[in-house]
Structure 1
Amino acid sequence: MEYLVKSGSPEKQRVGCVVVGVFDRRKLSQQARALDFASDGVLSSILRRGDLDGKLGDTAVLHNVDELLCDRVLLVGCGKEREFNDRNYQKACAAAIKQLTALGGVDAAVYLTEMNVRGRDDFAWQVKDALLTVEDHLYRFDACRGDGFEAPRHKLSRLVFQVPRRSDLRAAERGVAEGRATAAGVKRAKDLGNMPPNICTPSYLAERAEELGNTHGKLSTRVLGEDEMAELGMGALLGVSQGSRQPARLIAMEYNGGASKQKPIVLVGKGVTFDSGGISIKPGAAMDEMKYDMGGAASVFGAVEAAAEMDLEQNVVGVVAAVENLPDGNAYRPGDILTSMSGQTIEIINTDAEGRLALADALTWVEQNYDPDAVVDLATLTGAALMALGSHAAALYGNNSPLRRALRDAGDAIGDRAWPMPAWEEYNEQLDSNFADMANVGGKLAGSVTAACFLQRFARKLRWAHLDIAGVAWKSGGEKGATGRPVGLLTQYLIDRTRDDA
């Protein structure tokens, strides 16, 4: 898809379709009123007949309207004007792209990006958000279809996002640039997440990281195999891996876009490419969705790629702890005690609490190999996060208030939200063990919190945050598939940091 930004009157657009908004009770937006005036009231007449009442998400298509240069006018319901916020804006954009792809036109001028969105006054945001909505709608995963499969085709190949004044074009162009890069990162995360686990193994992730390094000049890749990790004492990560025939990998993608003395932002992702639960095996229902247990790793890939696509002036390191968790005669067991790279020992109570073990050694490795400004780990870690927050927000923890606030603000800005959660010292008592320095689970209560407290024990020297993304990384049911979250949050955080450093 080609994306452009322009300023100009809707009645003068010589395109396949002009997209304008209609509010509740058939009230035309400012852009639609301009079209209505130019067409001698045709739009108002259509509304009076009741073809569209402005309900959010409703659409109506007008063909060959006299006095207008465009072939069609697409009216999009935007709900009540006073309630036209970012959420409703996204719904209006989604309705528009759904109808545009069904119409068969080649290009369209989108005037929804000119409309006033409550709480937003930045055309960069409006263009970026519209572009991300379009890319989300157009996404398909067809990599594993058979030879006879033909993907549905649409003729739409160009969207022109409109802004009111020429002076707004610079902001809009920035929105396109950031949106394109973020969309590329989201797509990368979706593709990796949706790939079946017989293909997407730890070695496959390592290969994709090396390809990414070969694609971008400022990006280099390091991959550690099991022998190297054993020499480093990564007993926690390798304990998870020992039940699988797929060897574990520790992957580091180093993007050097900032000054040589700039401390990097390090993103650490849980990359469990399939999680059966190990000896503590999961119920069979929906176990296929455990291919998404590498959603944290996929988002690290996406955020690093987005930074490289934008040529962001920031040093970013993406670290992925890639393992597979399966039951086997050699698998680790409940009751085992593992020694982590940090030297801390861990009693295994449940082998289905494996992601935190892999992340523990990854965090220690980061501490010993980098001097990071901040470290953010992200993982589909606990069902408890889903129970607490549903699919609307990731659970956010951390040992540094400004870092937590910056991540929350980035999520709010781009609509990929995270919600701060407590990790008070009292919760650590649930991790007490009679036989080791800690247990790997803290019982039924506050499961997401105690998992964060476990990780915090391996990040005490770091400016650290943890995102439990179990509720947001994928969808189930009829819309089953990876969401690409929280690539948007991470990318926005990196953009904000770069602006702050400028």
Structure 2
Amino acid sequence: MKLTVIQGKTNAVVKVIPIYEGSLDKKTSCGGLSTAIKLKNSGKFKESYGDIYTLAKEAEEGFVYRIFLGLGKKEELTPEKIRRATSKAVKEAMKLNETSVHMKVIDSPNVCFYDVIKAMFEGAVLTNYKFDKYKTSNNETKKFIEYFEIFKINEDNFKIAENALKEAQDIIEGNIIARDLVNEPANVIYPETLAEKAKEIGVKAGFDVKVFNKEEIEKLNMKAYLEVAKGSDKEPKLIVMKYEGNKEDVQNILGLVGKGLTYDSGGYSIKPTDGMKTMKSDMGGAAAVIGAMYTIAKQKLKINVTAVVASCENMISGGAYKPGDIIGSMAGKTIEVLNTDAEGRLTLVDAVNYIIEKEKVSKVVDMATLTGAVLVALGTTASGVVTNNKDFYTKLEIASNNSGEKVWQLPAFDEYKELIKSDIADLKNIGGKCAGTITAGLFIGEFVQEKPWLHIDIAGTSWVDSDKHYRTKGGTGEGARLLYHLAKEEQ
């Protein structure tokens, strides 16, 4: 989609007019809104948030359309509400079979102009996303938007709008990278090809990528990771990405760890067929980390970031690990395996240990599609967070507000840690039926060496079964925008 901003008015076929609640009062409205006033008085259009009405007028070469978009109360508008409102307008334009949308800039008293522009573009472009590259024919009549313009920007704000557009493009591209990686089938994206994609993206964005093969992973003594990987014919790949944006402070490094299970059968604790159909998405954490690294590097943030993905498949074979096995880890701790479908945390603990011991990061964030329990607790609305550092979490909340990707902190009481203690090893990889998201997070927390740490479980937010505003069906790219905004807060 081509994006642009202009200063003046536009003679567009499809024009979106955002309207606040109360702005159509006859005493205060200008003549340009006279049509909207008539629609309101007739009951066809309300100014409440999300209300929408399209008016078609015949012109010399067809029709012109005016889409009136309700924004609700002016003081209640947020960047996320702007994204979703813009998304609704774009969807309305799609129904008209038009490929170009022109939207009047939203004037907000409580969202800065720069963030308004960013949010409008994010809402528009991400709504337009669809993964259909494997369709050999497409009989759908719906057209997708090829051009999106924000108009009526005054001269003083025009340069700000252009800068906001640039950041929006980088954020959008990072999110779409994550969506594409999640949506690709497991016969296309597996550890080797995921590593190749990371390299390609690193070259494009400007960060370094090193890939370790199985022999090198063995030399690193990453025993837990290798146990998960050994059931598959596909060789594991440890992907290490580095962006150095602040060479004056080389000791301060933000560490990102993404779960990289390119396919998860559950191993011998095998999933039912319905549970396996979307398990190509079990590398959503890795996809988010790679997408975030793209945006961080493209925006040239003044921060050092190292990201690690321990990529593999969790499969069944004569060599696969089994329930009841006791395995090692890079940190030296022993683990009793009670469920081979609790595999992601085994790869993550070695990746976390690696990023602390070998890459010397100052803080750690791990992001993973880790537990079904987070869906039970929070649904598809918010990602669950377990942390050992209040200040770090406060920055994540700011990043959440800026990105629109919701998070919710879960408790990390010592009583929960008791649930992952084993009678015959140092730890066990599941804590039982209760508090599954918390115990999974705290299992990883046993390996963070008291570094400030955030564990983000995106199992409920990384995939949607149907379109939900600008989160389109399939992989949502959840986490890519959140991690970028967290890095921005940390710089």
2:123 alignment partner AA: T
2:241 alignment partner AA: M
Kept in 2, the 8 Å contact 1:106–1:156? The answer is yes
* 1:108-158 CA-partner distances (Å, limit 9, x unpaired): 4312x42337xx321222111111111221101122223x44786747433
Q: Against the structure 1 CA distance between its residues 73 and 31, is the aligned structure 2 distance closer, same or farther, given a 3 Å change threshold?
A: farther
Pairing 1:214–2:203 present? yes
* 1:384-417 CA-partner distances (Å, limit 9, x unpaired): 1111111111111222221111012110222101
Pairing 1:73–2:73 present? no
* 1:66-89 CA-partner distances (Å, limit 9, x unpaired): 9xxx95422123345565555543
Pairing 1:346–2:339 present? no
Unaligned runs of 5+ in 1: none
Q: Against the structure 1 CA distance between its residues 32 and 181, is the aligned structure 2 distance closer, same or farther, given a 3 Å change threshold?
A: farther
Kept in 1, the 8 Å contact 2:253–2:305? The answer is yes
Q: Distance in 2 between matches of 1:142 and 1:30?
A: 50
Q: Distance in 2 between matches of 1:110 and 1:355?
A: 44
The structure, 1 or 2, with the larger RCO (C-alpha pairs under 8 Å, 6+ apart) is: 2
Kept in 1, the 8 Å contact 2:44–2:53? The answer is no
Q: Name the SS of the counterpart of 2:247 in structure 1.
A: coil
Aligned residue pair count? 483
- Pairing partner for 1:242 from 230, 237, 240: 230
Pairing 1:482–2:468 present? no
Moved more, 95-104 or 424-433: 95-104
Q: Against the structure 1 CA distance between its residues 106 and 272, is the aligned structure 2 distance closer, same or farther, given a 3 Å change threshold?
A: closer
* 1:174-206 CA-partner distances (Å, limit 9, x unpaired): 321221111101101111101111111111101
Kept in 1, the 8 Å contact 2:79–2:111? The answer is no
Kept in 1, the 8 Å contact 2:15–2:102? The answer is yes
* 1:46-83 CA-partner distances (Å, limit 9, x unpaired): 443444334524221243699xxx95422123345565
- Pairing partner for 1:337 from 326, 349, 354: 326
- Corresponding residue for residue 128 of structure 2: 138
Pairing 1:266–2:264 present? no
- Corresponding residue for residue 408 of structure 2: 419
* 1:467-492 CA-partner distances (Å, limit 9, x unpaired): 01111111136874011101111111
* 1:407-466 CA-partner distances (Å, limit 9, x unpaired): 121102221011111212221111111211111111111111111111111101422211
**Aligned residues with identical type, % of pairs:** 33
- Corresponding residue for residue 467 of structure 1: 456
Q: TM-score, normalised by structure 2?
A: 0.91
- CA shift, 1:21, in A, is 2.4
- Corresponding residue for residue 107 of structure 2: 115
CA RMSD, Structure 1 to Structure 2 (Å)? 2.7
- CA shift, 1:105, in A, is 4.8
Pairing 1:124–2:114 present? yes
Q: Against the structure 1 CA distance between its residues 74 and 32, is the aligned structure 2 distance closer, same or farther, given a 3 Å change threshold?
A: farther
Q: Name the SS of the counterpart of 2:38 in structure 1.
A: helix
- Corresponding residue for residue 241 of structure 2: 253
Q: Distance in 2 between matches of 1:32 and 1:338?
A: 71
Q: Within 5 Å, which residues of 2 pair with 1:343-492?
A: 343-476=332-465, 480-492=473-485
Unaligned runs of 5+ in 2: none
- Pairing partner for 1:100 from 69, 80, 93: 93
Kept in 2, the 8 Å contact 1:21–1:32? The answer is no
Pairing 1:189–2:178 present? yes
* 1:330-368 CA-partner distances (Å, limit 9, x unpaired): 110111111101111111011111000000111111112
Kept in 1, the 8 Å contact 2:463–2:474? The answer is yes
Q: Distance in 1 between matches of 2:84 and 2:258?
A: 30
Q: Distance in 1 between matches of 2:89 and 2:235?
A: 46
Q: Against the structure 1 CA distance between its residues 108 and 284, is the aligned structure 2 distance closer, same or farther, given a 3 Å change threshold?
A: closer
Pairing 1:20–2:17 present? yes
Q: Distance in 2 between matches of 1:153 and 1:178?
A: 29
Q: TM-score, normalised by structure 1?
A: 0.89
- CA shift, 1:312, in A, is 2.6
